[in-house]
Amino acid sequence: MDLVWRAQQVHREHFDANEIQRSTLISVKTGGCSEDCGYCSQSARNKTELEREKLMPVEDVVAAAKAAQAKGASRFCMGAAWRGPKEKDLEPVLEMIREVKALGLQTCVTLGMLREGQAEKLADAGLDYYNHNLDTAAEFYGQVITTHTQQDRIDTIGEVRKAGINVCSGGIIGMGESRKNRAALIVQLANLNPAPESVPINNLVAIPGTPMAAAKGVDNFEFVRTIAAARITMPTSFVRLSAGREAMSDELQALCFMAGANSMFYGDRLLTTGNPDVDRDEALFAKLGLRPI
């Protein structure tokens, strides 16, 4: 109770406690990723039933962005299942950013690891946020991913910062990590210089065919503790409820908002996993008196 109270105090010092930022996330290129991330349905190494798809046409992405905006989203996030974008793939993504930005939405992409010069191109196209999660604590990272290091991710965040783009970086809870690992992840995020402007906290969705399929997850109150720790240590960041929200009760989500979460993924899908439908979210906002930012 003391932890949640402290988190709520910190939250109210920097934000309107009754406002929630809503983001919509779509997969613009699904499946076939070369990396071995143990939680991911899109890794070519994991035996999931996901079909590999080509990059979406720009006009289809813009149509999805317009639909998200009409439902109340203020940020539109586009994800591509790559280790990192090739130059030939980057140009259509730049066009997506320009077109979505022209609608008046904030733009965010997650494209994997960036090479030198690519972040500058994204910045020139008007990108607002780049998502690249640290995923888990450094000492636990090798038990989740072996095809790249966490330092590779930190290097990409450095490229994004250099280009003047806001950073969206968080992690995944419930992969078998200890409480100490969860605390260490929050410490790593808070000590990025500066801390990420947006911090997505994902509650693992255990997907059949992935190495994490049998993961037991974490106790609900442990998840809330993680949200509160993120809020206290990153007082001016948006802390976002991300994957796993479909399985959360209204009461658990309300407790997360009390603990300082003030952003959420909004819409029926998150890349390849489900998300609460918009009507359910609208009903929850009405019960709690929450307003969109």
Active-site residue set: 33, 37, 40, 77, 108, 168, 240
Alpha carbons 1 and 235: distance in angstroms, whole number:
19
Picking from 91, 112, 24, 30, the residue whose alpha carbon sits closest to that of residue 63 is 24
* Cis preceding linkage at 292, omega within 30: no
Per DSSP, 175 falls in state S
Per DSSP, 267 falls in state S
| Residue 287: CB atoms within 10 Å | 10
CA atoms within 13 A on the CB side of 40: 20
Q: Are 25 and 240 in contact (CB under 8 A)?
A: no
129-131 and 166-168: which strand pairing? parallel
HEC readout, 7-18: HHHHHHHHCCCC
**One-character DSSP codes across 187-210:** HHHHTSSS--SEEEEEEP---TTS
Q: Are 214 and 229 in contact (CB under 8 A)?
A: no
């603990």: which residue's tokens? Answer: 259
Which spans in 43-135 are helix H? 58-70, 87-102, 118-124
Picking from 39, 38, 129, 33, the residue whose alpha carbon sits closest to that of residue 75 is 129
């639909």: which residue's tokens? Answer: 67
